[in-house]
Amino acid sequence: MTANQDKKPMRLSANVFGAGNPTRYKVLTPKQAARWAAVAHGCGLRIVATNGCFDLLHYGHVSYLQRAQKLGDLLVVGLNSDASVRQLKGRGRPLVRQQHRAAVLAALACVDAVVIFNDRRASRFLSAVRPDIYVKAGDYTAKTLDASERAVLKKLGAQIRILPFVRGFSTTSLIAKIRKSGL
């Protein structure tokens, strides 16, 4: 446990954005996320950030998010909007709408906040949440991260951490397996 864990996620989010359904108030606009991050940093909490499409959430995603959360005090997930997923993955994606993907991520105990962003790259999301640590899965390297994202992280002084990839789990392979099964 970190020294700041007693100040952690739910009370911080509830105090800033109002009590109620934890899943609902964990999904923040970029503007809300910037305020949330400022409050967190003001409390001395370390923010871990990651981002992705998270279409068809699976074991690989959950394992990755749980490991990412352990690197700091709060985990914020940048979620590609439906439009940006189509730009990245092509027609027919995402399979699950952004509001539903955000709600599923927000329901995870290891996730403290979710921010839907419309850009193809996470640069503006990262500028808003100002993470102390930025995490990606092992299918990336520090060199294969987008140059604009790397530039933002460097400016912020954020650490970049690449976590081992959980083999055998990917949304693309799940979709192929489902199609092959004829379901």
End-to-end Cα separation, the chain, in angstroms: 44
Q: What is the pLDDT of residue 139?
A: 78
How many C-beta atoms lie closer than 10 Å to residue 148's C-beta? 14
Edge-to-edge strand ranges of the sheet holding 113-117: 27-28, 113-117, 74-80, 47-52, 133-137, 159-163
* 8 A C-beta contact, residue 53 and residue 94: yes
How far is Cα 182 from Cα 99, in angstroms, rounded to an integer? Answer: 28
Fold classification of 5-181 is: Rossmann fold (3.40.50)
* Residue percentage of the chain with pLDDT more than 70: 81
The residue extents of the domains of the chain are 5-181
pTM above 0.85, yes or no: no
DSSP class of 165:
P
For residues 64-82, give the mean pLDDT: 97
